[in-house]
Amino acid sequence: MTSRSKTTTDHEEIRRWVEQHDGVPAKVKDTGSNEDPGILRIDFPGGASEEALEHVDWDVWFEKFDKSNVAFLYQQEKASGEDSTFFKLVRADE
């Protein structure tokens, strides 16, 4: 069995997948500026330490996402068939 991945820029699809996996939109602390949240991440339970990430509103996250010309690549399930929280932001034109 192979892992299944999908790439999207659809906000509702991204939000739905993240929330189904108990994730929260976040940014890396001490990146960005007043106008720019910095490096985007998703905070999943048991993921990066709280010291590294700061939660942000979906509006802030998606504004930066759209301006960055990226797409959300996510793994729907692992090759074993287990659920997966793997994702990465990729260039939208790839």
Question: pLDDT tens digit string along 5-28?
Answer: 899 999 999 999 999 999 999 999
For residue 51, give its domain range: 4-91
Neighbours of 84 (CB within 10 A): 17
What is the chain's percent helix, strand, coil content, to nearest 5?
20, 35, 45
pLDDT beneath 50: ranges in the chain: none
Q: Distance between CA 21 and CA 84 in Å, rounded?
A: 8
What pLDDT is recorded for position 51? 74
Read off the pTM: 0.86
Question: What average pLDDT is seen over the chain?
Answer: 89
How many independent structural domains does the chain possess? 1
What pLDDT is recorded for position 91? 92
